[in-house]
A and B are shown apart, each in its own frame.
Chain A
């Protein structure tokens, strides 16, 4: 589904990714872990098409297409969802309007008619319940005045509504208390299926207590230095990143 090959990228002239190669198949959950500054978030940003990140080498292919050649909205239309580490507040645009516009953009891209109001509300209510969010939160401006945990739940709410093929979630667990982490984990697990894949970018192993990954990668200084199974994450938890990077954790 996703083939990243020798990807190099820089920000403000500084090279951050120094040759990432990674292959994600449909149905798999990959965790990308690493210490601060290792390039995890840059990898997520490049996959999402965030402005300001320059790809200087390598390729990313998504379902056989050149992902890097696609605009952010084209990536969304093709079924890629980026969960933001810091979701943006947009006062004045209600969450429900935003969700409906996003759902309809996805449906239009798939050649489906726009969703009718009744079905939309039904899906929204179910997703809100899963995310333990109140109706009131969809009437408010997008992420307006939301706590850090509420913003993250709102990201997963959007993902539940959009049903992407590939979810790239950037530090979706940061700033979450244990209850919110469970809710977020539940939302992601609900979407797991043989057709879907996820890339979870995270600093902490604890997210993986709730979402069992198929593959774990450890990123350091812009390169994947180790790939393994869930056991690798547990070892990291035990020994710290210094165990692999050769520095004190």
Chain B
């Protein structure tokens, strides 16, 4: 489907060829243009706020602002920090690593190439090209066979814009995990933004046989200025297992695509996420799980809320290819509308080409349970606290799937901060012990 492409728009016209790292990718992007609502994958997310502005590529050397300063110096992680798409050696620290492990910003890593994997997610192809064109840095992580990283790797993707101009920054990450590897990965996204900023990030990763990756993500961008387009693309080998748990808790326009290809028997994807859209923000989660081999398993659980005049989107595609018999897939999504001006568009999609499979899905959108609300109030909780308790618990039950406990607590605090009276839930960690 080719809609009226956003080619002759300020965003595209303002792109500076001299800034491009990859001229071919830029040519591809300019040829295709920004996705429009005519594309199925972008039906619910209008990129107009991006299209209608000129974005200057952010320069190196932006300061560490309040948000970055506030990130607790996690005691036991290897931390790699990017400010506006540029590696910050000052803010990063990497400890001793097992032999053969490469963990470095791409700008400093030797002999690494980042594959162009945009074709699998047609809705993201143009943005993948945009990212490839302008990203000159990112994380490179290569873990050799039979290696376990004892500390989590913590990537901070920080946006800082003190100017009155819209700016953009791009990162392209690559993870290659060998056989029998164990890796924990954390991604923190935030910013201090006086003006609009668009950050894009593309993760490509492959997991060798029996590899395990646990990825925890927390994104909390300002609702009036923070824009983010992100794609995670992971390919799993035999008996490999990935967990991706996300919390997207703010932003003017946030789109996260999480794509996992289960290419060999025994591979498993556990993808979960919470979102909280408010203050006119827009948060869109798209997932695509491809069962390409028999005996593959996927579990998806997403829950979110939309408050005020915000919009949230979830789209979960599950593809079971011919021959992927004994696929076991389950996708559950639920959303709460906290105001009558908020919108949620949630859609499961199944494409099944095998006949001996188990594919379940459930999808609900609604308001808080009135019976539960009355029950809490009849025990003395005031109405606002009762609403806050129920909303928090709705999200928290999914947040508990996040592998990294520090990030989970940080996400829980941010959820509480977004709710009236949330500060009264201080001991919310005791919620569901």
Contact = CB atoms under 8 A, between A and B. Distances in A.
Contacts of A48: 378
Contact of B432 (A77, A92, A101, A158): A92
Interface in B388-433: 389-390, 392-394, 396-397, 427-428, 430-433
A70 B389 CA distance: 22
B370 to A, nearest CB: 7
Interface of B: 369-372, 374-383, 385-386, 389-390, 392-394, 396-397, 427-428, 430-433
9 interchain residue pairs of minimum CB distance: A92-B393, A105-B380, A76-B380, A72-B377, A102-B379, A88-B375, A92-B397, A93-B393, A72-B378
Contact of B390 (A72, A90, A94, A106): A90
A93 B390 contact: yes
Contacts of B370: 51
Given A72-B374, A92-B396, A97 B379 contact: no
Contact of B377 (A76, A93, A162): A76
B427 A73 contact: no
A51 B374 CA distance: 8
Contacts of A50: 374, 378
25 contacts: A71-B383, A72-B374, A73-B377, A73-B380, A73-B381, A75-B378, A76-B377, A76-B378, A76-B379, A88-B371, A88-B375, A90-B372, A90-B376, A92-B393, A92-B397, A93-B431, A94-B432, A97-B428, A101-B380, A101-B385, A102-B381, A105-B380, A106-B380, A141-B393, A158-B379
A91 interface: yes
A105 B394 CA distance: 22
Contacts of B427: 97, 100
A142 B376 CA distance: 10
Nearest to A90: B372
Interface in A42-62: 48-51
A35 interface: no
Contacts of B379: 76, 98, 101-102, 105, 158, 162
A149 interface: no
A106 B377 CA distance: 12
Given A49-B378, A101-B385, A88 B372 contact: yes
B383 A84 contact: no
Contacts of A92: 392-394, 396-397, 431-432
Chain B interface mostly: helix
A232 interface: no
Contacts of B389: 93, 101
Contacts of A129: none
B431 A91 contact: no
B227 to A, nearest CB: 31
Interface centre among B379, B383, B385 (most CB of A within 10 A): B379
Given A92-B396, A98-B379, 8 more contacts: A72-B377, A72-B378, A73-B381, A73-B382, A76-B380, A77-B380, A92-B397, A109-B380
A245 interface: no
Contact of A105 (B372, B382, B397, B433): B382
A139 B429 CA distance: 12
Contacts of B374: 50-51, 72, 88
A193 B257 CA distance: 62
* Residue among B378, B383, B430 facing the most chain A CB atoms (10 A cut-off): B378
B334 to A, nearest CB: 12
A139 B381 CA distance: 19
Contacts of A77: 380
A158 B379 CA distance: 9
A87 interface: yes
Among A50, A73, A141, max chain B CB count under 10 A is at A73
Contact of A94 (B369, B376, B378, B431): B431
Contacts of A97: 427-428, 430-431
Interface in A102-157: 102, 105-106, 109, 139, 141-142
B160 to A, nearest CB: 36
A72 B382 CA distance: 8
